[in-house]
Structure 1
Amino acid sequence: MAADLDAVIPVTDPAIEIELQALKLQEPMNAVIDLGSSPVQKYYEDATVFITGGPGFLGKALVEKLLRACKIKKIFVLIRLKKGKGSQEKLETVWQDSLFDLVREKKPRFLDKIVPVTGFVSEPRLGLSERDWVTITNEVDIIFHTAATVRFDEPLKVAAKINVGGTMNAVEVAKCCTKLKQFIHVSTAFSQATKERIGKVVTEQFYPCVMSPKIFMDMVDTMKEDRLNNITPELIKGWPNTYTFTEAIAEHVIKDCAADLPVCIVKPPIVLHALYEPHPGWLEKSCLGGPSGIAFGVGMGVLHVFYVDTENRVASAPLEYVNNATIAAAWDSTERHKEGSREIPIYNIASEEDLVKWGDYSKFLATECKPGLTTPQALWYCYLIETQNIFYYWLLNWLLHYIPAYIMDVVFAIFGMRPQGISSFVKVFQGINKKVGAYTYFLTNSWKFKNYNVKAMISRMTDNDRAIFNCDLRTVNTGLHAQVWCIGLRKYIVKDGLKDSVQATSKQNWLKRANLVFLAVYAYGIWFVLSLILSMVCYFFSFFV
Structure 2
Amino acid sequence: MLPVLASDDVLDRPKETIKMTSAIADFYKDKNVFVTGATGFLGKVLVEKLLRSCPEVKGIYLLIRPRGPQTVQERLNKMVECKLFDKVRHEQPTFHCKLHAIPGEMCEPDLGISQSDQGMLVSKIHILFHAAATVNFNAPLKASMQLNVVGTRYVIALCHDLKHLQAFVHVSTAYANCDRSYIEEVIYPSPVQPLKLIDTLEWMDNTMVTKLTPDLIGKRPNTYTFTKACTEYLLTQEAADLPLSIVRPSIIGGSWREPLVVGTGLLRFMRGKNSAYADIVPVDMTANLIIAAAWDTAVSRAETIPVYNVTSGGVNPLKWGEFSAMLGTYFNKHPLDKLFRTPNITFINNSFMYQFWQIVSHKGPAFLYDIWLSMIGQKPKVWKMYEKVERALSKFEYFTSHHWEWSHDNTDALMAKMGTEDKKIFNFDYRGLHWPTYMENYVLGMKKYVLKEDMDHLPMTKARLNRLRNIPRCFNTILIVVVWRVLIARTKIARNIWHLVVSLCFKFLQYLRISSKRGH
Q: TM-score, normalised by structure 2?
A: 0.89
Per-residue CA deviations over 1:130-155 (Å, capped at 9, x if unaligned) read: 11111111111111011000111110
1:87 Cα deviation after fit: 1.2
1:103 aligns with 2:67: no
Return the alpha-carbon distance in structure 1 between the equivalents of residues 375 and 483 of structure 2. 22
Query: What amino acid maps onto 1:519 in structure 2?
Result: N
Matching residue of 2:259? 295
SS in 1 for 2:321: helix
How far apart in 1 are the matches of 2:365 and 2:468? 16
Q: Which of these residues, 150, 154, 159, is aligned with residue 139 of structure 2?
A: 154
Equivalent in the alignment of 1:91: 76
Letter matched to residue 237 of structure 1? G
Contact 1:32 1:464 in 2 (8 A): no
Counterpart CA distance in 2 for 1:227 and 1:526 is 49
- Rounded Cα–Cα distance in structure 2 between residues aligned with 1:484 and 1:159: 34
Of the three residues 346, 350, 355, the one matched with 1:394 is: 355
Q: How big is the shift at 1:84?
A: 1.9
Letter of the structure 2 residue corresponding to residue 118 of structure 1? P
Are 2:224 and 1:263 equivalent residues in the alignment? no
Q: In the alignment, what sits opposite 2:506?
A: none
CA offsets 1:63-96 (integer angstroms, 9 cap, x no match): 1111111111111111111222211112112222
- Cα deviation, 1:158-185, whole Å, max 9, x if unaligned, reads 0000000011000000000001011110
Give the SS at the match of 1:78. strand
1:228 aligned onto 2:209: yes
Q: Which of 359, 369, 381 in structure 2 is aligned with 1:408?
A: 369
Computed over aligned residues only, the root mean square deviation of the Cα atoms, in angstroms, reads: 2.2
Task: Tell whether the 8 Å contact from 1:372 to 1:502 is kept in structure 2 after alignment.
Answer: no
| Residues 257, 382 of structure 1: alpha-carbon distance in 2 compared, 3 angstrom cutoff | same
Kept after mapping to 2: 8 A contact 1:29/1:467: no
**Contact 2:320–2:347 (CA under 8 A) maintained in structure 1:** no
The 1-side partners of 2:372 and 2:490 are apart by 23
Q: Secondary structure at the match of 2:163?
A: coil
Contact 2:8 2:427 in 1 (8 A): no
- Partner Cα distance (1:220, 1:371) in 2: 50
* Alignment counterpart, residue 473 of structure 1, candidates 430, 435, 443: 430
Q: Deviations over 1:167-216 (max 9, x none)?
A: 1000000000001011110000110111xx2xx32010011112222112
Distance in structure 2 (CA, Å) of the matches to 1:455 and 1:377: 43
| Comparing 134-143 and 374-383, the one that deviates more | 374-383
Q: Which residue identity does 1:152 align to in structure 2?
A: F
Q: Which residue of 1 aligns with 2:9?
A: 27
Offset at residue 525 of structure 1 (A): 5.1
The question of 1:201 aligning with 2:182 is answered yes
Corresponding residue for 2:305? 344
Gaps of 5+ in 1: 1-18, 274-286, 535-545
**Structure 1 residues 363 and 33, CA, compared in 2 at 3 Å: closer, same or farther?**
farther
Shift of 1:22: 5.8
> 1:48 aligns to what?
32
Matched, 1:515 2:497: no
Partners of 1:350 and 1:450 within 8 A in 2:
no
1:531 offset after TM fit, Å? 9.1
Decide whether aligned partners of structure 1 residues 103 and 529 sit closer, same or farther in structure 2, where only a CA change above 3 A counts: farther
The structure with the larger Rg is 2
The residue that corresponds to 1:442 in the other structure is 399
State the AA in 2 paired with 1:203. E
Structure 2 CA distance, aligned partners of 1:445 and 1:33? 44
Question: 448-457 vs 81-90, which deviates more?
Answer: 81-90
- Give the deviation of 1:353 after TM superposition: 2.5
Q: CA deviation at 1:60?
A: 1.3
Residue aligning to 1:9: none
Structure 1 counterpart of 2:384, from 423, 427, 432: 427
Cα deviation, residue 358, structure 1:
1.2
CA contact (8 A) 1:265 1:346 kept: yes
Number of aligned residue pairs: 485
Secondary structure, counterpart of 2:191 in structure 1: coil
Equivalent position of 2:335 in the other structure: 374
| Gap runs ≥5 in structure 2 | 492-520
SS at match of 1:49: strand
1:124 corresponds, among 109, 134, 137, to 109
Confirm whether residue 77 of structure 1 aligns to residue 62 of structure 2.
Answer: yes
Rounded Cα–Cα distance in structure 1 between residues aligned with 2:149 and 2:34: 19
Spell out, residue by residue over 1:8-61, the C-alpha distance to the aligned partner (whole angstroms, 9 max, x if none): xxxxxxxxxxx9x966x6433433655223110011111101111111111111
* SS of 2:246 mapped into structure 1: strand
Counterpart residue type for residue 334 of structure 1: A
Displacement of 1:523? 4.3
| Misfit runs of 4+, over 4 Å | 525-534
Q: 1:48–1:533: structure 2 CA closer, same or farther, 3 Å change rule?
A: farther
1:138 is matched with 123
- Work out the CA distance in 2 between the residues paired with 1:463 and 1:350: 22
Residue number in structure 2 paired with 1:175: 160
The amino acid of 2:267's aligned partner reads L
Question: Shift of the alpha carbon at 1:412?
Answer: 1.3
The residue type paired with residue 157 of structure 1 is K
Rounded to whole Å, the distance in 2 between the matches of 1:355 and 1:209 is 29
The alpha-carbon deviation at position 522 of structure 1 amounts to 4.3
1:114: how far off?
0.8
* Inter-partner Cα distance in structure 1 for 2:201 and 2:113: 23
C-alpha separation in 2, matches of 1:532 and 1:416: 38
- What SS is found at the alignment partner of 1:191? coil
Counterpart of 2:84 in structure 1: which amino acid?
L
- Please, what TM-score do these two structures have when normalized by structure 1? 0.85
Secondary structure of the 1:396 match is helix
Match of 1:210 in 2: 191
Match of 1:354 in 2: 316
Asked if the contact 1:160/1:220 (under 8 Å) is kept, the reply is no
* Aligned match of 1:272: 253
User: Does structure 1 conserve the Cα–Cα contact (< 8 Å) formed by 2:332 and 2:342?
Assistant: no
Alignment partner of 1:301: what SS?
coil
> What secondary structure does 1:82 align onto?
coil
Offset at residue 366 of structure 1 (A): 3.4
Amino acid of the structure 2 residue aligned with 1:66:
L
